[in-house]
């Protein structure tokens, strides 16, 4: 979990930085959708991320459909 600071900065938790091998000055692409989703992606990982979402689209749609039916 991360918290938005006064100046709009987000601190990436140490465990996530280690897992992602992030270094000071690393550049990210930032995507938003509506007011509820914000995604940070290393530029090198964007293609892999898009592929992962495509593979998981069926699962994501099923979850959305189930939540609407409740």
CA distances from 39 to 18, 34, 65, 68, 69 (A): 18, 12, 22, 23, 27
> For 6-30, what is each residue's pLDDT tens digit?
999 999 999 999 999 998 988 888 8
Whole-number pLDDT of residue 7: 95
Cα-Cα-Cα-Cα torsion 53, 4, 22, 24, nearest 10 degrees, comes to 150
What's the mean pLDDT in 57-61? 85
**pLDDT tens digits, residue range 25-39?**
888 888 898 899 998
């Amino acid at each position: 979990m991360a918290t938005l600071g006064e100046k709009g900065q987000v601190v990436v938790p140490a465990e996530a930085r280690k897992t992602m091998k992030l270094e000071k000055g690393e550049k990210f692409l930032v995507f938003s959708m509506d007011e509820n989703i914000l995604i940070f992606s290393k530029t090198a990982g964007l293609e892999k991320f898009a592929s992962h979402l495509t593979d998981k689209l069926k699962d994501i749609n099923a979850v959305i459909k189930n939540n609407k039916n409740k």
